[in-house]
Structure formats: structure tokens, C-alpha cells
Structure 1
Amino acid sequence: MEEKITGRAADRVVRVLAQKIRDGVIAHGAPLPAERDLMVEFGISRTVAREAISALSSQGLVEAKPRHRPVARKPGFDAAMDATGSIVGNLLLQPGGVWNLFDTRILVEASLVRSAAEKANKHDIAALETALLANKAAIHDSDLFYQTDMQFHRIFYNISGNPVWPAVHRAYVTWLAPQWGQMPRLPERNKANFAAHAAIMDAILMRDPDAAEAALKSHLMQAWDQVRLTFGDI
């Protein structure tokens, strides 16, 4: 009975605080009331207050860090992706987990580059050209090349104007970072990746969605071959 009562009490706190965050009463980035204040306001125990904060965190409405007071997060697609991060992290530890996630990235980006080849406007093209030039300039600086590589791919997620896709790109980068961060970064490999980016760009400039998709898939499968050489099948 005590457990059920505790659960109902936490649910009530979650409902009230979630509504305040959605309405902006508790602003994005603002700290939540201290545990003691929540205990007084709602007439609850410290255990119930912590249970409520944990539930809000799992919903992506609160960012909780050790030794820091939890802060509110405005509901959005980034928050939704962050809320699934721990689940995805566990899935990646399963056999084939990293490939399964990377395979979804290939499917998503193949569709996005096709769309870019068909619909990219002059501003999108300019953004891609700027990113490609930065990527070329960074070939001999592998850390910078990694950043410019991500930026080039990020633009495809931005072109549609759908806010879901940039959040998906950010999630892919975050979820795959532990593997990508351990990859050997050599100028020769950077040159090959830049050449692949240039091929994708050429296909988009030619307004050829089939060629853009083929170049993208070839590029990402080559990237995956490098992952397998480093880690084996993961």
C-alpha cells in the first residue's frame, strides 16, 4: 500500500511540474525547486520528490546531473532524443547493436540526400559548399576534419525544415561518438572522406537524386568498413 501511495504522490508532483515547464512558468534552463521546497509544497517525502524528478528526467523535461540541482528543459525533439539515450546506449552493447543503429542512419541520410538533390535551394547549396570547403581545408587536422565532416552531414538534416531531423542527427552523433571517437584519424582517410563528400555534392548540383543516394551509401559503407577494421563486428 505504501508503494502505491508513493507512486500516486509522485505522479501528482510530475503532473504539476510538467505543466509548469510546458507553460514556461519554470523557464527552460531554470533550476527546479529544491527537494526540501517540493516536500513542503506538496506535503511529500524526500523519496517521493526524488521519484518525481526521476520521472520528469525520463520524459526529457528535466536535466539531472550529479551534485547539481535539476534544471527544466523545454519540450522538444532534442529532449525526446536525449530521454531515449540511456536505452539506446544499452541496445548498442548488444551483438550487432552499433551496426543496427548505423544502418538506420544510412537509410535516413539516403532519403535526405535524395531530397536535397531534388529540392535544395540556393541557400542550402551555399551552406553545403561552405561546409565542403571547410572540410577540404581541414584534411590535415583530423580533429577539425571530424567536426567539419559532421557539419557537412548535418546540413542534409536541416534542409527539409522539419525540426525532427536535426534532432535525429544530433542523436546519431551522440550515440555513435564512443565508437567514432576511437577511430584512427589519418590524412589519407580524411582525403577519401572528402572525395566522397565532393561526389555527393556533385550529384546534388546535377540534381541527380539517384547519384546522390549512391554516393552517400558508398561513403557510409566505406566508413563502416573502417569501423569493422577497428572494432570487428559490433
Structure 2
Amino acid sequence: MADQVTVIPTVRQVYSDTYSNLPTTGLNNGDMGYATDRQVLYRWNGASWAPITVYSGTGASGDIPTATDLPDGSLYSETDTGKVKQVSAGAWVTIVNPSTGWTTVIKAANETVNNSNSLQDDDDLVFPVSANSIYILFINLLVTTTATLKIGATVPADTTAKGDTIQSATKTSDLTSGLSGYASGIHRFMFHVCTGANSGNFQLRWAQITATASNSTILKGSILEYLKVG
């Protein structure tokens, strides 16, 4: 008579809830739990929930999940800083830094003001800045005007933006209050920007010094180049 084998299947339970609401009693080894708030799958080992997957996400640096809530190896890509971070020993560690190369912003079309001495945002020459960072930037403006121009910028709170034309770069004028005296021609500026606790945009602004009923134009092909150095 041949041996007979009886197979007794083991039923495993699968739970889905926030991590704090996953049960800790009435469980069998191998039961599964999905933590909806952490997006991590766990296996009950008889004493605790052990992670068997890691978290992977992307978003602004300020929205990064709490590292101590996630298993080692979890990943997060910061859209505002370009950094990719990984959880190691309960803390986020940067594993990929953004490129440190220069970035160029090119003015796409001519832009004109007429009879206005109020600084207005340039349509194209703007770029995002991260908190607690340092940037060097150059701006080349192609100008056609019968009225002399002034330029300025808006920056996040707690940001210092200093610089001037390259022809007189020993000055450290406050860019946010405006630099002035630019007629038709090519004007090149160099600036040093240090941000504080706030991220946002460096936004170039410009206007006529004295409101004059004639066109003042920043030409297509003007450029802004920036480099994040720290």
C-alpha cells in the first residue's frame, strides 16, 4: 500500500491599514500587512512587523517623509533641489547631488515697456533657487531704448543678492533696490546670491528710470546663466 500524504494548508491573513492600526495580536508567522501611510509591505515574524519592501517617492524637499518611519533603503527624489536621498540607519542621506554645471535661460522674445518707471517682472529671465544655497549668476541684456533703464530683482525672504555691471564689479549694490543707468547696447552683470531659510525664484525686473513715452526693449536672445556653488 502506497504511503499517503495529507497536506494541511496554512491560511495567511493580509491586512491593509495605516501602520499604527495594523494588528499586533491574533497573528500567525507570515501574515502580511500593507501600511497605507508608508506605502511599505510588512511580514509578521512572530514578534513584530518586519518590512519586506521599501518606500520610493518624489516631491518637494519639505514634503519628504519621516526617515524613522521607513525601512533602510527607502528612496526620495527632491524635485526642488535635484537631490536623491536614501534612508540609512533611520536618517535621510543624499546619494545623488544635482549637476553643478551652469544653466542658461534664454529670452524667447522681445519685451517692451513704454512710459513706465515701475520695475516689472521680465517674462523669461527667472530661475528657481533653493533654501540655504549660494548662486553665482551672469546676465547679458541686449537693450534698445531712448530712455535709460534700471534693473532689479525679487528674491525669497532672507536672501542677499549683491552685484553690479562687470565694468564696475567692485561695487556690491543691493540688487533688490535696483541698479540704473543703462542705455542702448549690451550690458553684462555679475551677481552673488545667498538664500536663507526660504526657497523661491530669482526674478529679474526692469523699467525706465524716468517714465518716457517711448519704447524701451530687452531683446530676444538676452541670457541669464547661473551656477549653484553651495
Please report the TM-score for the alignment, with normalisation by the length of structure 2.
Answer: 0.31
Which is richer in helix? 1
Q: TM-score, normalising length from structure 1?
A: 0.31
Q: Which has the higher strand share?
A: 2
